[in-house]
Homo-oligomer: A and B are copies of this chain.
Amino acid sequence: MKNRLKLLRAERDWSQGELATRLGISRQSVNAIETGKYDPSLPLAFRIADLFALRIEDIFLRDEEGAGE
């Protein structure tokens, strides 16, 4: 399960801490998700999608998706 979180965050010039605050989670959780340590829970994935006004499928990708690029 890959994700485009780091990219989306960079587009908005947000630090990990700032994104964490907006999501109501810890900075370390943001870091862990970005660096692929684990996947967020489904409710958190929805909050992330809402924050960026995107669909979950546009932020989180199956491991094959977009891999060959």
Chain A interface residues (CB < 8 Å from chain B): 1, 39-43, 45-46, 49, 55-57, 60, 62
Contacts and interface: CB of A to CB of B under 8 A. Distances in A.
Contacts of A39: 41-43
A1 B40 CA distance: 15
Contacts of A49: 57
A56 B57 CA distance: 8
Contacts of A62: 46
24 contacts: A1-B42, A1-B43, A1-B46, A39-B41, A39-B42, A39-B43, A40-B42, A41-B41, A41-B42, A42-B42, A42-B45, A42-B56, A42-B60, A45-B45, A45-B56, A46-B60, A46-B62, A49-B57, A55-B55, A55-B56, A55-B57, A56-B56, A56-B57, A57-B57
